[in-house]
A = this chain, B = another copy of it.
Amino acid sequence: MTRVPTESVIDLLAMLAYGEVLAFDRMAVDARLAPDLRRRALLSEAAGAEIAHYRRLVDRLEELGTDPEQAMAPFAGALEAYHDLTRPRDWPEAVVKAYVGDRLTDDFVRTVAGVLGRRDRELVSEVVQEGRYQRLAADELRALTADEQARSRLSMWARRLVGEAMAQAMRIATERPALTALVVAVNGDANGDQSAVQLLLRRLAQAHTQRMSEVGLNS
């Protein structure tokens, strides 16, 4: 028994699924920026985890009786725009991007998971759970931000990533009322859809500030 309409659940899973296939693609290419094979493998393996998650989400979409490709299509524009606007130029930027993207998605999913039925709640939680790669990325980030100049540059890059992510999130919120309904359900907010979305984005930004300081970046 789900507490939100199936349409909203499908939108959520489809957005996450398309996000995974794009993350796989971009991280696989960004891995080439690594200064050595150990680090290259690190990001490649993180990419491999994303595509494994994709499969689980798509299997669930099929189970819900929807065509995954059709369900994902509405999210292609916003998610591709995010990646096109945030191409890392070097290895530190690639690591920050992988870390920020994963953490933002995790925070968002944790926020909305509560209104999902047990089955989907467990699925999305497993898909975003903090894994070995995220810990390794955090370690790598702490090393990369040991130097003050690097920290300043990468902090700015992280802020830009969050800015672009928030802009695309707003676009999706406008275009996908079914997904916005899910955010509204989380807040139990009577003040309307847009304020619920604003509240969610504010919370995500706060969580992000915390995340950044953990790895030595200022936000």
Contacts and interface: CB of A to CB of B under 8 A. Distances in A.
Given A28-B47, A47-B28, A51-B44, A72 B21 contact: no
A54 B41 contact: yes
Secondary structure class of chain A's binding surface, majority of residues: helix
A52 interface: yes
Number of copies: 2
Q: How many of chain A's residues touch chain B, expressed as a range?
A: 20 to 34
B48 A52 contact: yes
Interface in A5-33: 21, 24-25, 28-29, 31-32
Contact of A44 (B21, B37, B72): B21
Contacts of A24: 28, 44, 48
A58 interface: yes
A84 interface: no
A175 interface: no
